[in-house]
Amino acid sequence: MTAHPNFRVDIYQNEYLHEGAQEVNAIVTVSSDGSAVSSTVDASAAAAEVIIVDCSGSMDYPRGKMIAAKQATSVAIDELRDGVAFAVIAGTDQARLVYPQQGGLVRADARTKATAKAAVNNLKAGGGTAIGRWLALANSLFAGHRDAIRHAILLTDGRNEHERPADLAATLAACEGAFVCDCRGVGTDWEVDELRKVATALLGTVDIVADPAGLAEDFRRMTAAAMSKAVADVALRLWTPQGASIKFVKQVAPEMADLTARRVATGGQVGDYPTGSWGTESRDYHVCVEVKPAGVGDVMLAGRVSLVLGDEVLGQGLVKATWTDDMVLSTRINPEVAHYTGQAELADAIQEGLAARKTGDLDTATAKLGRAVALATKSGNTDTAALLAKVVDVDDPVTGTVRLKAKVADVDAMTLDTRSTKTSRVRKSS
């Protein structure tokens, strides 16, 4: 059996429902303590890394952007552990292997890293942007490394203008489950929704690097995080009783990601939801199950949540339902469920408010962004509150009374949009 970190699954919910109620909500916290990481990652965890660098013509404007991208790629290469299989792709309206120039991935060592960095240093900007083709090439490179922890970095500075949206969607469908991809947009001429679709489909992150000077440190952090992973292809397995249905399964921390449509049936009442690769970390998931209502005093196992690697169960927790006529019990709001319900509303309010602002619907924009300010204040999400303050003038943060700023820098609006799905954690109750 392959060594992997120890996992723990904790369930936070109010299991008491009033008579006739049928919706059961629970926050599932999955934690890996990393106890096996030190003996696993450095020595035996197979890993594969592909770095995708936008080399379209716009990367030369300003010229420092391309220089920074090359420097950042070299920093990422230096961060690779010896033995990790890797490659670098140059992305334009086509996808080209920069290193190695042909064949598949190569093993990282002092010689291959130096050769790869020399090849990266010769990159030049020119051509268009076709992100799907870049990802398709990465997918083909990962094909021979299905037992490895597979990770890609994708950097772009522009819109996906040289392929149809349907082509990108088809490529994302083909790549789902094949590798994790962290996406970065440099500057302000790229589309947040476009990169968010890529990151969501490939279980990665998306963020803005407004100043190219910040690329090197960002690439270093992403690569270091990838090198710290100890196990890949972990799934959240959810069993529900006969007659129950899954309303949704969402990752809610450290950021929002809806996994509901990603379910793969593995049995009559069992389905798996992908979670990607794990190192030493903790994530929260919101599970909502609709069950058949029962009578006062009845108790039901509404769900069994397991973290699985293939057929191996790494951790497990139970979601329960007890019907009661005690209004105090049934109306008690579980703090974890309430917190993350608010965080989901916060993300929606920001994205809807910014979309309304872009179309000139200022009343809706003010209402939505005001609601976002109130939710961020209530939940203690200070990072998001600070980003909101660059888009609106806040008169009362508690009530969400705000005024749209007359002038907002593109970078501030895009940063708020990009990071709207990042959530604040809640202190767990016992």
For residue 428, what pLDDT is reported? 62
282 and 350 share a domain? no
Let me know whether 26 and 83 are in one domain: no
Q: Is residue 430 scored above 80 in pLDDT?
A: no
Q: Supply the range of the domain harboring residue 31.
A: 7-39+232-331
Q: How does residue 5 score in pLDDT terms, banded at 50, 70 and 90?
A: confident
- pLDDT(268) > 90: no
Q: Does 427 reside within a domain?
A: no
192 with 239, same domain: the answer is no
* pLDDT recorded at residue 35: 55
**Other Cβ atoms closer than 10 A to 211:** 13
Q: Mark whether 67 and 211 lie in a shared domain.
A: yes
Quick one: DSSP state of residue 422? Answer: B
Domain ends where: 315, 331, 347?
Answer: 331
- At 103, the pLDDT band (50, 70, 90 cuts) reads confident
155 shares a domain with 67:
yes
Average pLDDT over residues 328-357: 97
Distance in angstroms (rounded) separating the CA atoms of residues 47 and 85:
6
Using the predicted structure, report yes or no on whether residue 147 has a pLDDT greater than 90.
yes
Residue in the block written with tokens 């469920």: 337
Phi and psi (nearest 5°) for 399? -85, -10
Residues 400 and 281 in one domain: no
Task: State the average pLDDT for the chain.
Answer: 95
Within a 13 Å sphere around the CA of 202, how many CA atoms are in the beta-carbon half? 32
Question: Are the beta carbons of 57 and 127 closer than 8 angstroms?
Answer: yes
Number of structural domains in the chain? 3
**Is the predicted pLDDT of residue 291 greater than 80, yes or no?**
yes
Q: Are strands 312-324 and 16-18 parallel, antiparallel or unpaired?
A: parallel
Question: Per the domain annotation, does 426 fall within a domain?
Answer: no
Task: Evaluate if residue 37 carries a pLDDT over 80.
Answer: no
AA letter at 262? R
Decide if 334 contacts 12 (C-beta within 8 A). yes
Q: How many CB atoms lie within 10 A of CB 260?
A: 12
Across 326-338, average pLDDT: 95
Tokens representing 335 are 């703090």
Distance CA 204, CA 401 (A): 34
Is a pLDDT exceeding 80 seen at residue 427?
Answer: no
For the cut 60, the answer to whether the pLDDT of residue 172 exceeds it is: yes
Cα–chain center distance at 263 = 17
Task: Mark which of 201, 227, 253 sits at the end of a domain.
Answer: 227
Q: What is the mean pLDDT of residues 126-153?
A: 97
Confidence at residue 307, expressed as pLDDT on a 0 to 100 scale: 97
Is 156 in the same domain as 211? yes
Residue type, 194: E
pLDDT at 331 over 90: yes
Pairwise CA distance, residues 295 & 421, whole Å = 39
pLDDT at 1 over 50: no
Note whether 260 and 357 are same-domain residues: no
Nearest to 341 by CA among 349, 329, 331, 353: 349
At 100, the amino acid letter reads P
Residues 260 and 304 in one domain: yes
Same domain, residue pair 205 and 352: no
CATH code where residue 379 lies: 1.20.120.1690
Q: What is the CATH number of the domain that holds 93?
A: 3.40.50.410
Q: Do 71 and 213 share a domain, yes or no?
A: yes
> What does 140-199 look like in DSSP terms, one character per residue?
HHHGGGTTSEEEEEEEESS--TTS-HHHHHHHHHHHTTT-EEEEEEESSSS-HHHHHHHH
In a domain, 353, yes or no: yes
Q: State the Cα–Cα distance between residues 176 and 261, nearest whole angstrom.
A: 12
Q: Is residue 2 part of a domain?
A: no
Summarised one tens digit per residue, pLDDT across range 54-84 is 999 999 999 899 999 999 999 999 999 999 9
Are residue 268 and residue 174 in the same domain, yes or no?
no
Domain boundary among 227, 246, 269: 227
Indicate the pTM of the whole model.
Answer: 0.94
> Does a structural domain hold residue 286?
yes
Helix or strand (DSSP H, E) at 246: strand 245-253
Q: Are 30 and 236 in contact (CB under 8 A)?
A: yes
Sequence-ordered alpha helix ranges (H) in 45-164? 64-79, 110-121, 131-142
